[in-house]
Amino acid sequence: MTSQSCQRGPESAHVNYKGPCHTAVCRHSSSLLGCNLEPPNKHGGQSKPVPSSAVGSSWVTGLLRMLLLLLWYMPVAGGLEVKTEERQMVFLHDNVTVLCKIPGSPCLDITTVGIIWSRKKEWNESETSVYQFYGSHREAIRPGANVSLLGLERGDASLLLPRIELSEAGEYRCKLVVTPQKAEGTTRLDVVASPAMKLFVKPATERNGEEQHVICKLDGFYPEAFDVKWGKSTLNDPHFQAITEGIVTGPTVRNDDGTFSVTSSLALRPALEDHGNTFFCVVSHKSLLDSKRLSVMLPEKRPVEIYFTIVGPCVLLALVLALVIVYCLWRWSSGRVRQENKDFYAAEMLSS
């Protein structure tokens, strides 16, 4: 392996590279390219003679641009390779880097490099341009799209996309020319959104027949496919016990931003021993590396609740029985008094 030097202006950078190192002498400027290949500007309102070397440099730049454009339409030449990822999964609104690199650590003169990034939409086969760079031309068709020119000098043509949207999923193609060679690679970009999850107990009401409901809500997820499972554990058996009855999972609802929401509920008619049990909602989704489990404990009945649910009915029954007994005694007592009165009047009439 030999050490070669790429001269950029007054500085030299030495890198190890298996292959040709395109050299160029260029002066530093504040431009994005870092090299000024245009004729000298006018200073102080007076024009200075343009050296023939500058005119030649401008002519060479135009010729290189024409050559780079011509290479886009030629068959892919051998000798140059780019490394891309077959598939990348990224999260909604993240800043994303779509990889495209030349293996090794090349040292490139970017005046001989051209790159075009394009995207094939999911729902059709047409390709749209995302970013272009060749010669002194640099254009971001997708707002914010960028390729670092410092990285490009080291063979890194990766595409930077700030705040990715769901609509930007698809197949991205990286076409790279290092004159006179050409290579390309593709990456499938999947944009996903993780669900925001909430689990809570909805108290029983007369309307729902004194049932309690455990509610599991998912919001803001993409893609639409998901899976929800229910289970419980008790004080006597802390292991997960699957629940398959009393479950109602509603239809998914599309949000304004293209993500989805859904609600799943578990209906309970808890006996006294069910209070204090823990219930689980287990969610599976493409955006989650593993299933996520949420848990909630069914509140234990407080002493007042126990009084009204157990002692209360007993007291009420006792009161009813007491009233029945009092009524019966009253009827018996009233009947006895009336009979005594009849006997008294009958005795009076006989004596008279």
For residue 320, pLDDT over 70 is answered with: yes
Q: What is the pLDDT of residues 109-166, one digit of tens each?
A: 988 899 999 999 877 778 999 999 998 899 999 999 999 999 999 999 999 999 999 9
Query: Nearest 5 degrees, angle CA 297-CA 302-CA 305?
Result: 115
pLDDT band at 24 (very low <50, low <70, confident <90, very high): very low
Whole-number pLDDT of residue 348: 64
Whole-number pLDDT of residue 39: 33
Average pLDDT, rounded, for the chain:
76
- The token duo for 249 is 């999972």
Cα(232)–Cα(244) distance, rounded to whole angstroms?
Answer: 11
Whole-number pLDDT of residue 237: 87
Task: Classify strands 87-91 and 181-192 as parallel, antiparallel or unpaired.
Answer: parallel
- Helices and strands (H, E) in the chain, number of each type: 4, 19
Residue 189 CB: number of other CB atoms within 10 A? Answer: 22
Cα(116)–Cα(119) distance, rounded to whole angstroms?
Answer: 10
Higher-pLDDT residue of 298 and 141 is: 141
Cα(157)–Cα(81) distance, rounded to whole angstroms?
Answer: 12
Q: If one looks up domain 1-38+54-191 in CATH, what number appears?
A: 2.60.40.10
Q: What is the pLDDT of residues 212-242, one digit of tens each?
A: 899 999 999 999 999 999 999 988 888 999 9
Q: What is the pLDDT of residues 33-74, one digit of tens each?
A: 333 333 333 333 333 333 434 434 555 555 555 555 555 555
- CATH 2.60.40.10 residue ranges of the chain are 1-38+54-191, 196-303
For residue 5, pLDDT over 50 is answered with: no
- The token duo for 137 is 């031309």
Higher-pLDDT residue of 3 and 101 is: 101
Cα(292)–Cα(281) distance, rounded to whole angstroms?
Answer: 8
Cα(114)–Cα(174) distance, rounded to whole angstroms?
Answer: 11
Residue 73, phi then psi, degrees to nearest 5: -100, 5
E strand or H helix that includes residue 69? helix 52-72
Collapsing DSSP to helix, strand or coil, 301 comes out as: coil
Sign of the alpha-carbon torsion through 317, 318, 320, 324: positive
Q: What is the pLDDT of residues 242-264, one digit of tens each?
A: 999 999 999 999 999 999 999 99
Q: What is the DSSP letter of 146?
A: B
Residue 109, phi then psi, degrees to nearest 5: -90, 110
Task: Classify strands 159-161 and 137-140 as parallel, antiparallel or unpaired.
Answer: unpaired
Q: Once rounded to an integer, what is the mean pLDDT over residues 303-332?
A: 65
Asked whether the whole model's pTM tops 0.95, one would answer no
Cα(285)–Cα(220) distance, rounded to whole angstroms?
Answer: 12
For residue 349, pLDDT over 60 is answered with: yes
For residue 16, pLDDT over 70 is answered with: no
**Fold (topology level) of 196-303:** Immunoglobulin-like (2.60.40)
Q: Which segment of 85-89, 188-192, 309-313, 324-328 scores lowest on mean pLDDT?
A: 309-313
Q: What is the pLDDT of residues 66-109, one digit of tens each?
A: 555 555 555 544 578 999 999 999 999 999 999 999 998 788 99
Are 72 and 184 contacting, i.e. CB atoms less than 8 angstroms apart?
Answer: no
Cα(14)–Cα(6) distance, rounded to whole angstroms?
Answer: 7
For residue 328, pLDDT over 90 is answered with: no
The identity of residue 226, as a single letter, is F
Closest CA to 66 of 147, 142, 177: 177
